[in-house]
């Protein structure tokens, strides 16, 4: 019988996840299908009960349900518990277990796409919202030397560093971070600044950027933000948000099926769809 997978979110219509997962199921000969489930915020508990009742094999969870699903699960892994958000649920013979592959997906994409080891690296995270949280806690499990944070509302960066930090993190205002840009090997924008339709906006001035720095943006619409364009022009190595999107999906796929999909093919499909 065909296994059913899917995405719980609101809205979900524009998700690229079915494209990635359904193609990977076909290519690996796995009898399964990934569907979109638009779940109203008032019906999260019913949706999870539905996953159980219908024997749905696994789901992704997206905005605005990543926190709301937690009370209805049987178990949640340490990383997801720590960040307080679930993006992947595995139905293990009726036991629903929550994971979060966003941060781990980001880190894996960074290491593989940029062919870099994070050991000893000095990293600056821009932003302190939901996107930053998963990435920050995942970076803390690497051997990076520094994982500093800057945010428009500096108190939010301070709070996150206090909560997770292990002595490797400082927090700065945007102006302070801009003045210290030359101290970092890797810079990551986790904010929505520069995302369609406000494509002219930039999260941080790159005046003091050193050539050779890795500049990474989790935004994938547009594929290359104005910020990444400028970083590239200043001699940086740049990465867009497609990698995180694909690798969080690939890690979920692996949890569901035990198999690692062809991430380059997933990436190609996503980029083609985004260009359309
Ligand atoms: P998400 O869950 O997508 O991360 P979020 O929790 O609302 O969304 O966080 C958005 C992040 O983008 C925050 O770091 C936010 O900064 P504040 O904490 O100061 O709000 C940042 N952000 C959004 N719009 C911004 C802007 N115009 N300038 C600077 N930072 C911005």
Positive or negative: CA dihedral 71, 77, 81, 83: negative
Q: Per DSSP, what are the bridge partners of residue 154?
A: none
Q: In which band, very low, low, confident or very high, does the pLDDT at 165 lie, cut at 50, 70 and 90?
A: confident
Q: What is the pLDDT of residues 59-99, one digit of tens each?
A: 999 999 999 999 999 999 999 999 999 999 999 999 999 99
- pLDDT recorded at residue 72: 98
Q: Which residue minimizes the CA distance to atom 22 of ligand 1?
A: 191
- pLDDT recorded at residue 224: 98
Ligand 1 center to 113 CA (angstroms): 25
Q: What is the pLDDT of residues 12-33, one digit of tens each?
A: 999 999 999 999 999 999 999 9
Ligand 1 center to 272 CA (angstroms): 28
Distance CA 99, CA 215 (A): 27
Which atom of ligand 1 approaches the CA of 203 most closely?
29
Share above pLDDT 90 across residues of the chain, in percent, rounded to a whole number: 99
Q: Quick check: 136 and 107 in contact, CB under 8 A?
A: no
Ligand 1 center to 95 CA (angstroms): 35
Q: Alpha helix locations (H) across the chain?
A: 17-27, 44-54, 78-83, 102-113, 130-139, 154-164, 174-179, 226-233, 242-257, 263-275
Q: What is the pLDDT of residues 216-273, one digit of tens each?
A: 999 999 999 999 999 999 999 999 999 999 999 999 999 999 999 999 999 999 999 9
Q: What is the pLDDT of residues 92-143, one digit of tens each?
A: 999 999 999 999 999 999 999 999 999 999 999 999 999 999 999 999 999 9
42 catalytic residue (yes or no): no
- Coil, strand or helix: which one is 152? coil
């Amino acid at each position: 019988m065909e296994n059913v997978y899917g995405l719980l979110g609101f809205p979900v219509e524009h998700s690229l996840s079915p494209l990635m997962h359904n193609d990977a199921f076909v290519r690996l000969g796995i009898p399964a299908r990934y569907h979109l489930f638009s779940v109203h915020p008032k019906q999260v508990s019913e949706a999870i009960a539905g996953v159980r009742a219908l024997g749905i094999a696994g789901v992704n969870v997206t905005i605005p349900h990543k926190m709301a699903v937690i009370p209805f699960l049987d178990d949640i892994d340490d990383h997801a518990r720590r960040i307080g958000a679930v993006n992947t649920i595995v139905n293990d013979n009726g036991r629903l277990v929550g994971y979060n592959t966003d941060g781990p997906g980001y880190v894996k994409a960074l290491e593989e796409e940029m062919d870099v080891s994070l050991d000893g690296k000095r990293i600056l995270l821009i932003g302190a919202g939901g996107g930053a949280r998963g990435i920050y806690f995942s970076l803390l499990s690497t051997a990076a030397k520094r994982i500093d944070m800057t945010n428009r509302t500096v108190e939010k960066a301070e709070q996150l560093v206090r909560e997770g930090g292990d002595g490797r993190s400082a927090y700065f205002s945007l102006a302070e971070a801009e003045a210290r840009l030359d101290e970092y090997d890797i810079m990551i924008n986790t904010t929505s600044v520069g995302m369609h339709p406000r494509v002219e906006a930039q999260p941080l001035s790159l005046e003091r950027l050193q050539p050779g720095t890795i500049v990474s943006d989790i935004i994938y619409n547009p594929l290359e933000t104005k910020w990444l364009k400028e970083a590239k022009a200043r001699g940086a190595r740049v990465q867009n948000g497609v990698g995180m999107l694909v690798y969080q999906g690939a890690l979920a796929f692996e949890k569901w099926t035990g198999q690692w999909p062809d991430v380059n093919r997933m990436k190609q499909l996503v980029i083609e769809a985004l260009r359309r």
